[in-house]
Amino acid sequence: MIVSRRWLEALLGRPLDAREVAERLTMHVAAVDAVVPLHPDLGDVLIGRVLEVKKHPNADRLSLCRVDAGGAGGPVEVVCGAPNVQAGKTYPYAPVGATLPGGLKLERRKIRGVESNGMLCSAKELGLGEDHAGILELDTAAPPGSRFVDAVPVADHQIVIDVPANRPDLLCHKGVARELAAVLGGTVKLPPIAGGAAPAGGTARGGSAARAAEGGVPAGRRRASAPSGRVTSGVVDGVEVRLEDPEGAPRYMIAVIRGVKVAPSPGWLTGRLSSIGQRPINNVVDATNYILFELNQPLHAFDLARLNGSAVVVRRAKPGEKIVTLDGLTRTLTPDMTTICDAKRPTIIAGVMGSADSEVSPATTDLVLECAYFQPTRIRRTRRALELSSESSYRFERGIDMLGMPDALRRAIELIVAVAGGELREPPLDLWPEPQQEKTIFLRPERVAHLLGMPVEPGEIERRLTAVGFFLAPKDGRLAVQVPAWRPDVTREVDLIEEVARLKGYDAFPDELRPYRPGTVPDAPEEQARARVRQGLVRLGLLEARTMPLGPPDGPDSVTILNPLSAEDAHLRRRLLPGLMRRVEYNWANRNRDIRLFEVGTVFRKESGSPVEEWTSVAAVLTGARRPPHWSEGAKLPDMDIWDLKHHFELAVDLAAPGCTVEPATGGESGWVAVQRGGEVVGRAGPLEADAPVWAAPLFGLEVRLALTGRAPVVYRPLPVQPPAERDVALVLPGGVSAAQVAAVLQRAVGPLLERFDVFDEYRGPGIPAGHRGVAWHCSFRDPERTLREAEVDAALARGLAALEDELGVRRREG
Amino acid sequence: MRDLLAALAELRERLQEIPQADERRLHDLKTEILGRKAGALTQILGRVPTLDPSSRKEVGAAANALKLEFAAAIAARERELKRAAGSVAGLDLTMPGRAVWRGGLHLVTQVVDEICDIFRELGFTRAVGPEAETERYNFFALNFPKDHPALDAQDSFYLGDDLLLRTHTSPVQIRTLERYPPPIRVVIPGQVYRRDPFDASHSPVFEQIEGLAVDEGISFVDFKATLATFARRFFTADTRVRFRPSFFPFTEPSAEMDVQCQICKGVGCATCKQTGWMEILGSGMVHPAVLENCGVSSERYSGFAWGMGPARIAMTRHGIADIRLFYESDVRFLAQFAGGVR
Ligand SMILES: [Zn+2]
């Protein structure tokens, strides 16, 4: 919402500093996003009065003017080419040395042989409009030599307010001024309309029952008139009005103004609208827009002559009914939408947009002026369904001031008559079948103190709330607070407490830490597990990545997003590895060869029964050198291989899924799987196929499902005091016999004396039969109680070897 | 016998080579002279038993003495070489050292941990909840009206009629209030989803940290104090903070907390749009309707809640202009923060 500083000044009757306004609004009302000065580049331009106009001696089209610009040296000679220059009139004058918008710097120079001291300016030269046919004639009492920007209301500030969704009252100047009056002091008074006179008569109730006007009620204190029957139709100045959809339009007012002359608006009105970035259109439309931005009452003026049958009918649209809106598009309506119709067809989509063929045109003489309250939800749904929004729909959606409508309509009529002529022959019609009262909320001063942590005197509470339009009356130790209808956001006590807090200023409350009780919620085990895994993988030298969980499908049980941003991102990830592989390819594209990434993130799967299953997954990708190259070791270090992967996988499984075992994958898969005690596979690791450049090293990946179970506590074993006995054993393994099998047999056959058993070599070639391989183990034997004798060790080893030969056909290697 | 003694004398000369030998040469010398089969001394000693007894003694003694001398000299040289390898004398110490790969946490993880750790000191534990949520948890229990603009499908990713990817971590407020009795003090980190196209300042997925405190007698003063204390611990002890009105359906009063711009220290710069302030978090007192929706008495209990974006805070603190960098996983980006950010 853009507000004009000058417009606010007119409402508050006092000068304002735009920066201060922005600061106060931000700290007490709503954030100000920007303060934009308008025409700051006119500071050098002065008010000049033309004293005398003579013909230029050397040019027919030029004149020579004597201009009083307030200078001490008396009037100056200025050459002027405008046809409209007249002695005795006042114009913007740019002296020598002045800089004009666009950067033009004026110098003293001769024009056709006569020296010109500066220039008289057109609107275009000042950046104030497109008119450059003549110089800009000013209507100002400011003395010659005054600064143009001080004398003429063009210099202004746009104050851009980020109005929250619950504060429709801030969508107009009066509402913002009301808040400023509360925090800066002062009162809000609508400025008189130039040439205006309050229209005679009040408003008429439906039928012929005239209803007293509610004029003269101070802002913030208006009473709705008592309900007077559920009248939903009436006639005003020959126009029949029928409210057939009171749910969609709870209050509906119509005025008829006859004999207007549609023309451009006067300067003050176009100036106001331009100052907030609104394009002036014609006097009637500009007048309704002015009221919109002054009072937040959307109005719709339409051409009486273009109505079929002099009737205004407010009803739900019929299925499939069509309307061509102002933007030229044909819209198909549904019964969920309220329309304003003539006797035959819809002319307006209520609260959203009118049709091209009912709009005010230069030929219009008789106006129907609508002032309505449309039901916010209805408008929102219509706007969404049609994907069509307007300044009006924006305001109706948020809720306008239903009780302020007569005042707004009265002022609109006054303004239209003032700027476009015409007359109101009958009071407006007010169809309001179920009149509403302002709501009352009870406020307990002690609750204010309780919630805000600091007592606020009842007098201050009353002062603060009254300043923004609430009405307070003590009742049974509480305060009965009447809420003005422009504040739909205030519905319960706590809303009033917020009002007190913000108007007092949040900064007025101390920020001292007071004692608190510890909470009952334990740390989430998920978070502990994630932290443990992350730290462990970082220690392995991996960098944590974060990838997008949205992407292409990954198997039939991928979860589909119903309304994706794009077809490529229409699924939730089922695994982390595909995303990490894409990040590896991205790094390859940046010529990085050594990449070690991991991610701990949520993955999703379609589940029968529950709609979506989600869990935390842990994944890593590895490619490139095993460690950073060093000059002492030559250019090339070995790249990571499948055995680096195995170690990383074992550690990742130990961190993420404690208790699971890592086993070679079966069934044609290469690599390993992590298997839970029950046999369920919870992780996989293996080489990955990626779109790799030729210089890239092999890529490996692992992924394991994060278990929430903690790890078993570490069991401490006392350090041995007896020395070990060491033996190296080279064995020949027939094809199909695995190291794990050998280890198992040896361990079982030798028993607890065999303390450690580490592979230190594998060999194929001369001396080993074809299809066999040589594998060498380093064995450590130890008895915790006593020193082993050599013979005992040899006997134990022989037991093991015998079992190996027996069970696996594994023999000791000769020589 | 003469020839053997002459050979021994010749071998003795070679003792002088040992102090100059490098590691490789020393190894060769050892094999050449003391080698188990072909070593020169080994061979001489092998011939001793074939000599006549008178010479046998003389030659044997000389050969054994020389063998001991060689062994001692070689051992001495070996020790010397080992010492030299551990010494820095004569080395160019500006040459690069030998490295291992260094891992590191993602910048966002580090900031999340840093924030949660500060709140832990203020008594908050870490809570989490699912990313696929129902409308009740994501909106309605949080006091969003049924036709609130945030419910527009264009702002959220829907997975089903009543199932969407959570648009904030606030649903965990509801889950926590339903499950645990007050006093409650939790911080809730987690991934959230908004239907915004990926660009320099928007990501359809980002990290959020929510906080919730509920107990008897928690007031606006407690709320301000807790968040201001956080800001001063996270930034600097003299960082100024301000609270100003805002609007969220699930808090009342609602507030935005700004901290003094960390780049210009409040003077005004391009980053803070000349205001001198940076918006850090949205917050407020828990709306009584939220407590009531969870079966908690809003007369007896009150509380405060807040939400903030660690990625955005990291961007402000480190001057990172493009949020997409957080998801590109460029190792050059990740490695910059591998050593920690503080
Ligand atoms: Zn700054």
Nearest to B247 among A164, A507, A564 (CB): A164
Test A521 with B132 for CB contact under 8 angstroms. no
Reported confidence tier of residue B103, pLDDT bands at 50, 70, 90: very high
Q: Which chain B residue shows the shortest CA-CA distance from A379?
A: B147
pLDDT at B339: 81
**Domain contains B48:** yes
Task: Cite the residue boundaries of each domain of chain A with CATH code 2.40.50.140.
Answer: 40-154
**Domain contains B60:** yes
Nearest to A217 by CA among A190, A193, A191: A190
pLDDT digits (tens, 9 = 90+) for A265-295: 998 898 899 899 999 999 999 999 999 999 9
Least confident of A136-140, A759-763, B165-169, B259-263: A136-140
Residues B79 and B114 in one domain: no
Could you tell me the distance, in angstroms and rounded to a whole number, from the CA of residue B278 to the centre of ligand 1? 8
**Which CATH number is A219-431's, of 3.90.700.10, 3.50.40.10, 3.40.720.10, 3.10.129.10?**
3.50.40.10
Reported confidence tier of residue A815, pLDDT bands at 50, 70, 90: low
Reported confidence tier of residue A229, pLDDT bands at 50, 70, 90: low
∠A209-A212-A215 over CA atoms, to 5°? 150
**Domain contains B294:** yes
SS (H, E, C) A620-638: EEEECECCCCCHHHCCCCC
Tokens representing A185 are: 């002091």
Residue A548 contacts B where some CB pair is shorter than 8 Å: yes
Residues B78 and B214 in one domain: no
pLDDT at A813: 86
Q: How far is CA B106 from CA A318, A319, A602, B310, B333, in A?
A: 58, 56, 16, 12, 10
Reported confidence tier of residue B6, pLDDT bands at 50, 70, 90: confident
Q: Which chain A residue shows the shortest CA-CA distance from B334?
A: A543
β-pairing, A543-544 vs A595-606, is parallel
Q: What is the mean pLDDT of residues B115-128?
A: 97
Phi/psi-derived region of residue B295, left when phi > 0, alpha when psi is between -120 and 50, beta in every other case: left
Which residues of chain A are within 8 Å of residue B186 when distances are taken between CB atoms? 519, 521
Largest separation between any pair of C-alpha atoms in chain A: 135
Distance between CA atoms of B212 and B305, rounded to whole angstroms?
A: 4
pLDDT at B124: 98
The answer, yes or no, to whether residue A216 has pLDDT greater than 80, is: no
Residues B74 and B141 in one domain: no
* Contact criterion met (CB below 8 Å) for A4 and A176: no
**Domain contains B98:** no
**Domain contains B92:** no
Could you tell me the distance, in angstroms and rounded to a whole number, from the CA of residue B263 to the centre of ligand 1? 5
Residue B210 contacts A where some CB pair is shorter than 8 Å: no
pLDDT at A223: 45
Distance between CA atoms of B272 and B261, rounded to whole angstroms?
A: 6
Reported confidence tier of residue B149, pLDDT bands at 50, 70, 90: low
pLDDT at A225: 47
Residues B200 and B57 in one domain: no
Nearest to B252 among A495, A507, A561 (CB): A495
Could you tell me the distance, in angstroms and rounded to a whole number, from the CA of residue A680 to the centre of ligand 1? 55
User: CA of A700 to nearest chain B CA: how many angstroms apart?
Assistant: 17
Query: Domain A444-508 belongs to what topology?
Result: Phenylalanyl-tRNA Synthetase; Chain B, domain 1 (3.30.56)
Which residues of chain A are within 8 Å of residue B243 when distances are taken between CB atoms? 506-507
Which residues of chain A are within 8 Å of residue B253 when distances are taken between CB atoms? 494, 497-498, 501-502, 506
Could you tell me the distance, in angstroms and rounded to a whole number, from the CA of residue B277 to the centre of ligand 1? 7
Test A544 with B109 for CB contact under 8 angstroms. yes
Q: Which residue has the higher pLDDT, A54 or A609?
A: A54
Reported confidence tier of residue A212, pLDDT bands at 50, 70, 90: very low
Domain boundary, last residue among B49, B84, B119:
B84
Residues B164 and B65 in one domain: no
Residue A652 contacts B where some CB pair is shorter than 8 Å: no
The answer, yes or no, to whether residue A128 has pLDDT greater than 60, is: yes
**Domain contains B125:** yes
Test B183 with A520 for CB contact under 8 angstroms. yes
Residues B30 and B137 in one domain: no
Q: Which residue has the higher pLDDT, B332 or A72?
A: B332
Could you tell me the distance, in angstroms and rounded to a whole number, from the CA of residue B269 to the centre of ligand 1? 4
Q: Which chain B residue shows the shortest CA-CA distance from A583?
A: B329
Q: How far is CA A661 from CA A665, A675, A676, in A?
A: 12, 5, 7
Reported confidence tier of residue A7, pLDDT bands at 50, 70, 90: very high
Test A521 with B243 for CB contact under 8 angstroms. no
Q: Residues 370-389, chain A: which have Cβ within 8 Å of B?
A: 377, 380-381, 384
Helix (H) or strand (E) holding A47: strand A46-55
* Residue in this structure with the two tokens 């300044």, named with its chain if needed: A391
Q: Both ends of chain B: CA-CA distance in Å?
A: 80
Task: Cite the residue boundaries of each domain of chain A with CATH code 3.30.70.380.
Answer: 725-812
Test A164 with B338 for CB contact under 8 angstroms. no
pLDDT digits (tens, 9 = 90+) for A490-533: 999 999 999 999 999 999 999 889 999 999 999 999 999 999 99
Which residues of chain A are within 8 Å of residue B184 when distances are taken between CB atoms? 519-521
Residue B221 contacts A where some CB pair is shorter than 8 Å: yes
Superfamily of the domain at A725-812: Ferrodoxin-fold anticodon-binding domain (3.30.70.380)
Q: What is the mean pLDDT of residues B156-163?
A: 92
pLDDT at A210: 34
Q: Is the dihedral of CA A215, A469, A9, A166 positive or negative?
A: negative
pLDDT at A218: 39
User: CA of B309 to nearest chain A CA: how many angstroms apart?
Assistant: 15
The answer, yes or no, to whether residue A201 has pLDDT greater than 80, is: no
Q: What is the CATH number of the domain that holds B308?
A: 3.30.930.10
Q: Which chain B residue shows the shortest CA-CA distance from A376?
A: B147
Number of domains in chain B: 2
pLDDT digits (tens, 9 = 90+) for B218-238: 999 999 999 999 999 999 999
Question: What percent of chain A clears pLDDT 90, i.e. is strictly above it?
Answer: 68
Test A524 with B127 for CB contact under 8 angstroms. yes
Distance between CA atoms of A79 and A66, rounded to whole angstroms?
A: 9
Tokens representing B163 are: 């199932």
Least confident of A262-266, A512-516, B78-82: B78-82
Test A501 with B221 for CB contact under 8 angstroms. no
Which ipTM was obtained for this model? 0.85
Test B252 with A595 for CB contact under 8 angstroms. no
Nearest to A627 among B95, B99, B229 (CB): B99
Distance between CA atoms of A464 and A468, rounded to whole angstroms?
A: 7
Distance between CA atoms of A337 and A556, rounded to whole angstroms?
A: 42
Nearest to B186 by CA among B177, B178, B195: B177
DSSP helix/strand/coil, B83: helix
pLDDT at A368: 95
Beta strands in chain B (DSSP E): 125-126, 132-134, 158-160, 163-165, 184-193, 205-216, 241-245, 251-260, 277-286, 301-308
Nearest to B100 among A498, A541, A543 (CB): A541
Residues B178 and B299 in one domain: yes
DSSP helix/strand/coil, A586: helix
Residue by residue, DSSP assigns B209-231 as EEEEEEEET--HHHHHHHHHHHH
Q: What is the mean pLDDT of chain A?
A: 90
pLDDT at A222: 45
Residues B123 and B204 in one domain: yes
Q: Which of A75-84, A201-210, A213-222, A364-373 tops mean pLDDT?
A: A364-373
Reported confidence tier of residue B128, pLDDT bands at 50, 70, 90: very high
Residue B83 contacts A where some CB pair is shorter than 8 Å: no
Residue A427 identity (one-letter amino acid): P
Task: Cite the residue boundaries of each domain of chain A with CATH code 3.30.56.10.
Answer: 444-508
The answer, yes or no, to whether residue A195 has pLDDT greater than 60, is: yes
Question: What percent of chain A clears pLDDT 70, i.e. is strictly above it?
Answer: 95
Q: What is the mean pLDDT of chain B?
A: 90
Which residues of chain A are within 8 Å of residue B131 when distances are taken between CB atoms? 602, 604, 614
pLDDT at A217: 37
Could you tell me the distance, in angstroms and rounded to a whole number, from the CA of residue B260 to the centre of ligand 1? 8
* Contact criterion met (CB below 8 Å) for A168 and A296: yes
Residues B75 and B123 in one domain: no
Reported confidence tier of residue A197, pLDDT bands at 50, 70, 90: low
Task: Cite the residue boundaries of each domain of chain A with CATH code 3.30.930.10.
Answer: 525-705
pLDDT at A72: 79
Domain boundary, last residue among B53, B84, B115:
B84
**Domain contains B247:** yes
pLDDT at A215: 36
Residue B105 contacts A where some CB pair is shorter than 8 Å: yes
Q: What is the mean pLDDT of residues A568-588?
A: 96
Residues B201 and B318 in one domain: yes
Residue B300 contacts A where some CB pair is shorter than 8 Å: no
Least confident of A124-138, A640-654, B173-187: A124-138
Q: What is the mean pLDDT of residues A466-490?
A: 94
Could you tell me the distance, in angstroms and rounded to a whole number, from the CA of residue B267 to the centre of ligand 1? 6
What's the CATH class of domain A525-705?
alpha beta
Residue B143 domain boundaries? 107-334
CATH numeric code, A40-154: 2.40.50.140
CB under 8 Å to A737, separation ≥6 — which residues? A808, A809, A810
Residues B257 and B132 in one domain: yes
Residue A539 contacts B where some CB pair is shorter than 8 Å: yes
pLDDT at A202: 54
* Contact criterion met (CB below 8 Å) for B257 and B242: yes
**Domain contains B94:** no
pLDDT at A58: 84
pLDDT at A204: 55
CB under 8 Å to A545, separation ≥6 — which residues? A580, A583, A597, A598, A599, B106, B329, B334
Test B103 with A538 for CB contact under 8 angstroms. yes
Residues B69 and B118 in one domain: no
Distance between CA atoms of A606 and A620, rounded to whole angstroms?
A: 24
* Contact criterion met (CB below 8 Å) for B205 and B161: no
pLDDT at B84: 76
